[in-house]
């Protein structure tokens, strides 16, 4: 984290010198995974990954507000340094209403900085965001929520990706006598980019980059080869800055089968429109959800998820869940195995299926006192179909983790 980031955090805290800060709660989790990764038509390879999270929360102003710090970190043991660190500090305050009132207004804000290893160091950014949420409880079994948030992200090395994002949502949570919970949510978003969009014609050029040289095309050619150049497909002419919109919808039904067993089904979709800059950050297959870094505005998608969870008398948890998605990218051209656009330059399309089983086991609950320690293991089977050769693969992933809460 940079000194400037700490100065901003300190300045935020100094705005509220009279806040009474309660005893903080701390949660630390770390997990290592090993996966058998097999590209379609290629040889299987063994890969390892590490990720973790540190979260510190504290109530302030007699419970009217909350401050938090979150550190998310991880790495993939692929060729090159694919590590990352995301630091975020923020908080929320109840501006209007009380815990028992039917109308509450919350103000939220956060500062964040993300840093990467050498293989994708150019994709680092800093961000600031703020929002307001309205919560209504017209009935004891139903809650309405409405919210708006604005986030600005600055990419020092990739100025075209610097962006201003606006998001709004509305949701309702309803609980029924049948021990059923229904959640409905819809949202709209808009994003403007500093970079220009293409007019449909492209030139292939080689540029210097700290990220290396894989030549993934239609975006920066991120690589772990240690080289100093990359093949990039850039617009031959550009006349307007990138702007994109997003519409989202979600429905979730959760049903208690007993005091310790529940099931859920969820369906969601997002529709992206407009145009994003042709500079996209590509990551190794399986490292991030779809290999396109941190931008839901870059694809249209449909999701279906379901699962069942059982909590045992000793607080151990067994969970089974599945997930399916279909995605159509709005600006990313599908490439072949050597990084060249497919004939006709079709846009990338993906279909993903995931099945997972998870077991979480408390450790020595009678001896840890204020500490809660649990171990978790999971096995995940993933099939990722794509017309882009790099993202057409199967993976079997075993994960072992440890979580400590205080």
pLDDT in tens, 160-180: 889 999 999 999 999 999 999
* 14: enclosing H helix or E strand: helix 3-14
Q: Is the model's pLDDT at 361 over the cut of 80?
A: yes
**Lowest-confidence segment of 95-109, 191-205, 361-375 by average pLDDT:** 191-205
Q: Among 210, 228, 208, 230, which Cα is nearest to 220's?
A: 230
Q: Is the model's pLDDT at 3 over the cut of 70?
A: no
pLDDT tens, 228-251? 333 344 444 445 567 889 999 999
List all residues 6 or more positions away from 64 whose beta carbon is below 8 Å from its beta carbon: 93, 94
The residue among 8 and 320 whose pLDDT is bigger is: 320
- pLDDT class of 289 with cuts at 50, 70, 90: low
Mean pLDDT, to the nearest integer, of 306-333? 93
Q: Is the model's pLDDT at 2 over the cut of 90?
A: no
- pLDDT class of 331 with cuts at 50, 70, 90: confident
Q: Among 303, 283, 284, which Cα is nearest to 353's?
A: 303
Q: Is the model's pLDDT at 66 over the cut of 80?
A: yes
Q: Is the model's pLDDT at 226 over the cut of 70?
A: no
Mean pLDDT, to the nearest integer, of 300-306? 96
* Residue 176, Cβ density class (10 Å: 0-12 exposed, 13-18 middle, ≥19 buried): exposed
List all residues 6 or more positions away from 17 whose beta carbon is below 8 Å from its beta carbon: none
Q: Is the model's pLDDT at 88 over the cut of 90?
A: yes
Q: Is the model's pLDDT at 14 over the cut of 80?
A: no
Q: Is the model's pLDDT at 307 over the cut of 90?
A: yes
As a whole-number percent, the residues of the chain with pLDDT over 90 amount to: 53
Q: Quick check: helix, strand or coil at residue 98?
A: coil
Residues in the chain: 406
What pLDDT was estimated at residue 198?
52
Q: Phi then psi for 96, rounded to 5 degrees?
A: -130, 145
Domains of the chain: 3-405 (2.40.160)
Q: Among 237, 206, 199, 235, which Cα is nearest to 218's?
A: 235
């Amino acid at each position: 984290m940079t000194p400037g980031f700490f100065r901003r955090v300190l300045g935020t805290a100094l705005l509220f010198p009279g806040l009474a800060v309660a005893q903080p709660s701390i949660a630390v989790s770390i997990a290592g995974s090993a996966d058998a990764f097999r590209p379609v038509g290629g040889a299987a390879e063994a890969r390892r990954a590490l990720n973790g999270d540190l979260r510190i929360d504290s109530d302030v102003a007699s419970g009217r507000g909350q401050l938090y710090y979150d550190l998310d970190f991880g790495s993939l043991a692929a060729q090159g340094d694919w590590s990352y660190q995301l630091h975020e500090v923020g908080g929320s305050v109840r501006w209007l209403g009380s815990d028992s009132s039917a109308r509450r207004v919350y103000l939220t804000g956060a500062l964040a900085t993300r840093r990467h290893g050498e293989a994708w160091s150019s994709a680092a950014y800093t961000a600031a965001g703020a929002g307001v949420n309205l919560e209504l409880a017209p009935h004891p079994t139903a809650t309405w929520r409405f919210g708006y948030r604005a986030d600005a992200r600055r990419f020092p090395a990739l100025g075209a990706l610097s962006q201003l994002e606006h998001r709004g949502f509305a949701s309702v949570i309803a609980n029924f006598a049948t021990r059923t919970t229904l959640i409905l949510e819809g949202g709209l978003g808009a994003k403007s980019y500093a970079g220009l969009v293409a007019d449909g014609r492209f030139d292939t050029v080689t540029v210097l980059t700290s990220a290396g040289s894989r030549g993934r095309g239609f975006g920066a050619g991120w690589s772990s080869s240690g080289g100093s150049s990359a093949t990039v497909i850039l617009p031959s002419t550009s006349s307007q800055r990138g702007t994109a919109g997003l519409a989202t919808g979600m429905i979730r039904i959760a049903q208690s089968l007993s005091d310790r067993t529940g099931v859920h089904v969820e369906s969601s979709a997002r529709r992206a429109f407009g145009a994003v800059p042709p500079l996209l950050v590509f990551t190794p297959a399986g490292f991030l959800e779809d290999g396109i870094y941190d931008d839901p505005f870059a694809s249209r998608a449909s999701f279906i998820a379901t699962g069942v969870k059982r909590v045992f008398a000793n607080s151990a948890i067994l969970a089974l869940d599945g997930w399916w998605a279909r995605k159509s990218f709005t600006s990313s051209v599908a490439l072949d195995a050597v990084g060249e656009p497919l004939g006709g330059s079709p846009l990338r399309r993906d279909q993903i299926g995931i099945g997972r089983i998870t077991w979480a086991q408390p450790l020595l609950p009678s001896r840890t006192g204020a500490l809660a320690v649990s171990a978790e293991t999971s096995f995940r089977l993933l099939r990722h179909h794509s017309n882009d050769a790099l993202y057409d693969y199967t993976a079997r992933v075993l994960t072992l983790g440890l979580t400590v809460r205080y």
